[in-house]
């Protein structure tokens, strides 16, 4: 039996390509200390270059990032935070908050509720115009929990700004791509600050490779892009 072509073909929609990030107060929700730079780091640098306030919130303490116990346990959490501060300084960001939730635990509905309440309070206090957070397809449980907490918060309170979800573990079909070519050197320097994580995984190579591959969409493979999906909650 011949299957009609219309039944088997699907075309991914072309994403909106932006040469500049949206203007306004930017909030980045990061599950672990390093996600803020690996995911939307270039976009955060662009916000700062155009004078936008940027606040980064790191959800977990990152303690599970040293499975072989290569670093002193008593000071490891503060070491991860110091790396995050150093990386963000490379992007021009000085405003960072660490919530300190446990890393890589079994996530319960109560955990999601706690995150939702914290995020809603943060929105009321800081009043962002654009929010960056993990996308719904992330395979890591901490990433997924932060996304679910954000969505629950958005369902309870009106938000007229834009929510852009970024990729790290799992690749998305993007709605938006930011051209971060002009700031990719800053992003590279930022990622190199996370020495505890680079000791286990070369997070720089796949991150820059992913960003380079996104330039296929907007510049024939020349340059770098960060991909996002819009989060719309009704």
Question: What is residue 3's DSSP assignment?
Answer: P
Nearest to 136 by CA among 37, 18, 233: 233
Q: Which pLDDT tens digit goes with each residue over 95-132?
A: 999 999 999 888 899 999 999 999 999 999 999 999 99
User: What pLDDT, on a 0 to 100 scale, did the predictor assign at position 221?
Assistant: 85
Q: Under DSSP, is residue 55 helix (H, G, I), strand (E, B) or coil?
A: strand
Nearest to 46 by CA among 183, 185, 212: 183
Nearest to 40 by CA among 230, 227, 232: 227
Is the pLDDT at 1 greater than 60? The verdict is: no
- DSSP for 168-204 reads SSS----SEEEE-GGGHHHHHHHHHT-HHHHTT---H
Domains and CATH numbers, the chain: 25-36+45-64+76-178 (3.40.50.10320)
Is the pLDDT at 8 greater than 70? The verdict is: no
User: What pLDDT, on a 0 to 100 scale, did the predictor assign at position 9?
Assistant: 64
Q: Which pLDDT tens digit goes with each residue over 37-54?
A: 999 999 999 999 999 999
Question: CA distances (Å), 229 to each of 13, 159, 221, in order?
Answer: 12, 17, 21
Q: Which pLDDT tens digit goes with each residue over 198-218?
A: 999 999 999 999 999 999 988
Is 204 within 8 Å of 191 (Cβ atoms)?
A: yes
User: What pLDDT, on a 0 to 100 scale, did the predictor assign at position 10?
Assistant: 67
b/e 58-76 (16+ beta carbons within 10 angstroms → b): bbbbbeebbeeeeeeeeeb
Is the pLDDT at 186 greater than 60? The verdict is: yes
CA angle 65, 210, 71 (to 5 degrees): 15
Structure tokens at 194: 């996370």
User: Residues 178, 180, 186, 188: is their CA dihedral positive or negative?
Assistant: positive
Structure tokens at 122: 């943060």
The model's confidence at residue 4, banded by pLDDT at 50, 70 and 90, is low
User: What pLDDT, on a 0 to 100 scale, did the predictor assign at position 217?
Assistant: 86
How high is the mean pLDDT of the chain?
Answer: 94
Neighbours of 56 (CB within 10 A): 27
User: What pLDDT, on a 0 to 100 scale, did the predictor assign at position 219?
Assistant: 83
Q: Which pLDDT tens digit goes with each residue over 49-85?
A: 999 999 999 999 999 999 999 999 999 999 999 999 9
């Amino acid at each position: 039996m011949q299957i009609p072509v219309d039944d088997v073909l699907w075309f991914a929609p072309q994403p909106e390509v932006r040469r500049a990030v949206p203007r306004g107060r930017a909030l980045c929700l990061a599950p672990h200390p390093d996600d803020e730079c690996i995911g939307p780091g270039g976009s955060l640098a662009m916000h700062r270059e155009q004078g936008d306030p940027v606040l980064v919130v790191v959800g977990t303490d990152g303690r599970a990032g040293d499975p072989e116990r290569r670093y002193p346990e008593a000071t490891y959490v503060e070491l991860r935070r110091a790396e995050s501060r150093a990386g963000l300084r490379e992007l021009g960001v000085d405003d960072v908050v660490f919530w300190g939730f446990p890393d890589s635990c079994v996530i319960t509905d109560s955990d999601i509720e706690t995150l939702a309440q914290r995020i809603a309070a943060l929105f009321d206090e800081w009043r962002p115009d654009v929010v960056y957070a993990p996308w719904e397809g992330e395979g890591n449980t901490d990433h997924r929990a932060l996304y679910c907490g954000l969505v629950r918060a958005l369902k309870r309170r009106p938000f007229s700004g834009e929510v852009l979800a970024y990729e790290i573990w799992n690749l998305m079909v993007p709605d938006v791509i930011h051209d971060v070519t002009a700031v990719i050197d800053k992003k590279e320097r930022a990622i190199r600050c996370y020495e505890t994580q680079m000791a286990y995984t070369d997070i720089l190579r796949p991150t820059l490779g992913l960003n380079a591959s996104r330039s296929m969409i907007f510049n024939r493979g020349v340059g770098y892009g960060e991909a996002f999906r819009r989060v719309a909650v009704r």
